[in-house]
């Protein structure tokens, strides 16, 4: 049994950090061009949603780690909600947070790490470009940042 658990713990799962969401008319999307700025209905100082298999499991603040983006986790929901999200068995509630995520009486804050908060309102944040998708897989974030810098 321990070897089965070890195998499961070594599986890769998609981690997504969602900035925000909004709806747009198709004609607005068709009009996208380089330089288009998409205003999102979220304050630059609000926490970002951390999702596993498209199910929210926690929240965090955007940070800059060297030349890459990162997320400093500020809240993690209960273990059962995280396990269910990894299994893809739990649908998000109406508010986008799976049942049980906020029920944990003692959330798991992450200790201090050496990273500075990155404000999306800063001029630097828009230099990497804004695209139609408002979520990015963290595994692709580093390569995307490098590609944008090379293109500039």
Domain extents in the chain: 43-151
The predicted-structure confidence for 12-44, as pLDDT tens digits, reads as follows 888 999 999 999 999 999 999 999 999 999 998
The pLDDT value recorded for residue 146 is 42
Contact 125, 118 (CB under 8 A): yes
The pLDDT value recorded for residue 2 is 67
The pLDDT value recorded for residue 8 is 82
Q: Given a cut of 90, is residue 130 above it in pLDDT?
A: no
Distance CA 27, CA 91 (A): 31
**Percent of the chain residues topping a pLDDT of 90:** 37
Contact 147, 34 (CB under 8 A): no
Helix H or strand E encompassing 80: helix 79-87
Q: Given a cut of 90, is residue 69 above it in pLDDT?
A: yes
Gyration radius of the chain over CA positions: 17
Average pLDDT in the 95-109 region?
A: 46
Distance CA 71, CA 67 (A): 13
Q: Given a cut of 50, is residue 136 above it in pLDDT?
A: no
Whether this prediction's pTM lies above 0.75 is answered by no
Q: How far is CA 17 from CA 30, 54, 56, 97, 105, in A?
A: 25, 10, 9, 14, 24
Q: Which of 115, 93, 88 is nearest to 103 (CA)?
A: 93
């Amino acid at each position: 049994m321990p070897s089965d658990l070890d195998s499961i713990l070594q599986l890769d799962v998609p981690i997504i950090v969602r900035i925000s969401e909004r709806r747009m008319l198709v004609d607005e999307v068709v009009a996208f061009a380089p330089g288009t700025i998409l205003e999102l209905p979220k304050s630059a100082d609000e926490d970002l949603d951390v999702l596993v298999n498209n199910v929210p499991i926690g929240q965090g603040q955007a940070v800059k780690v060297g030349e890459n983006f990162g997320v400093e986790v500020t809240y993690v929901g209960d273990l059962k909600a995280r396990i269910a999200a990894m299994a893809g068995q739990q649908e998000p509630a109406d508010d986008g947070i799976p049942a049980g995520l906020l029920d944990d009486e003692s959330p798991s804050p992450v200790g201090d790490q050496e990273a500075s908060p990155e404000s999306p309102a800063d001029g630097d944040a828009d230099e990497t470009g804004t695209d139609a998708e408002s979520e990015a897989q963290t595994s692709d974030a580093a390569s995307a940042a490098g590609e944008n810098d090379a293109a500039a």
